[in-house]
């Protein structure tokens, strides 16, 4: 806590928004609420500001993470795949006016990575690639403990092409990696085998009990994951990869196939680590980001 209050973190997801703050070394969840495709930035930010100001009348600063292309310099969302009404939203100005405090904005994968760097989960030396596996694939490039942004939006690994003229993607392209290694892809692999539509959580449970169809779905998922990972290794030659996100929990089911595919397609060493994940990782990372840059 600074003399002006706490450093707050807001994780705006496609389904829920989580709001919390740093108190010493601890992160405290203040509240969460449902969002969704119909959520407007004004209504979401107003709800988040009400949560913050009800507990901290003079917040030190707030960080916000959300999926999509982010203009960090101007504090706006350029494009959001999960929250279409947020494209073009002037988040920093809207939330800053509400809180009367500094506001920082970044891609949700980058804020997660910031939290992992600050906690020591990702080393402060070397070149590392961090990926989140969920609805899509988020990516962050980390060199010597610093996020590499390039001209502003590096790390959009999920939208690298793995299949020319492949499955159409909401980004406007086709054959994007996350169309083959995302939530809908895993669901499709299972449905193609069984004819049944179930969630990734259910597929994971079945695979853990030895269900052959669920395990085959994970093998196909792992094959495409290994293909994309080999492309990244050939492009960046990193010291290794870190992964997190909801689908990363299935690594035990798709990791062997991914490793085999990876080693077929590149000469780099297989180095993949699963980061400790939690539902609060995004909000924690956003708070860590703003404390690091504003304190």
**pTM, whole model, 2 decimals?**
0.88
Contact yes or no for 266/230 (Cβ under 8 A)? yes
Q: What is the pLDDT of residue 64?
A: 97
Residue 281 pairs with which residues in a beta bridge?
none
Residue 274 pLDDT greater than 80, yes or no = yes
- Domains of the chain, start order: 7-112+279-294 (3.30.420.40), 124-274 (3.30.420.40)
Apex 215 CA angle, 212 and 219, nearest 5: 135
Interatomic CA distance for residues 251 and 258, integer angstroms: 9
Interatomic CA distance for residues 236 and 187, integer angstroms: 30
**Length of the chain, please?**
295
3-class SS at 93? helix
Q: What is the pLDDT of residue 1?
A: 55
Exposure string over 104-140, b if 16+ CB within 10 A, otherwise e: bbbbbbbbbbbbbbbeeebeeeeebbbbbbbbbbbbb
Least confident range from 40-54, 84-98, 236-250, 265-279: namely 265-279
Mean pLDDT, the chain, whole residue set: 93
End-to-end CA distance of the chain: 10
């Amino acid at each position: 806590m600074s003399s002006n209050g706490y450093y707050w973190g807001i994780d705006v997801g496609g389904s829920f928004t989580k709001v919390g703050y740093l108190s010493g070394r601890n992160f405290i969840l203040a509240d969460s609420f449902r969002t969704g495709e119909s959520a407007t930035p004004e209504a979401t930010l107003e709800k988040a500001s009400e949560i913050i100001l009800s507990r901290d009348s003079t917040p030190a600063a707030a960080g916000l993470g959300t999926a999509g292309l982010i203009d960090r310099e101007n504090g706006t969302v350029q494009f959001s795949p999960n929250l279409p009404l947020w494209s073009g939203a002037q988040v920093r100005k809207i939330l800053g006016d509400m809180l009367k405090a500094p506001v920082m904005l970044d891609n949700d994968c980058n804020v997660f990575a910031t939290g992992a760097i600050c906690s020591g989960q990702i080393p402060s030396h070397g070149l590392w690639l961090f990926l989140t596996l969920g609805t899509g694939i988020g990516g962050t490039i980390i060199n010597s403990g610093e996020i590499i942004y390039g001209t502003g939006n590096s790390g959009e690994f999920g939208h690298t092409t793995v299949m020319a003229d492949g499955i159409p993607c909401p980004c406007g392209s086709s054959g994007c990696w996350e169309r083959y290694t995302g939530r809908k892809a895993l669901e499709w692999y299972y449905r193609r085998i069984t004819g049944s539509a179930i969630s990734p959580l259910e597929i994971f449970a079945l695979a853990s009990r030895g269900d052959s169809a669920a395990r085959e779905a994970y093998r196909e998922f792992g094959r495409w994951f290994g293909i994309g990972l080999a492309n990244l290794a050939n492009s960046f030659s990193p010291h290794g990869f870190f992964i997190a996100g909801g689908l990363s929990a299935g690594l035990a089911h798709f990791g062997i196939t991914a490793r085999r595919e990876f080693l077929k397609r590149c000469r780099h060493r297989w180095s993949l680590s699963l980061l400790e994940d939690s539902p609060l990782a995004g909000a924690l990372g956003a708070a860590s980001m703003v404390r690091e840059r504003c304190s």
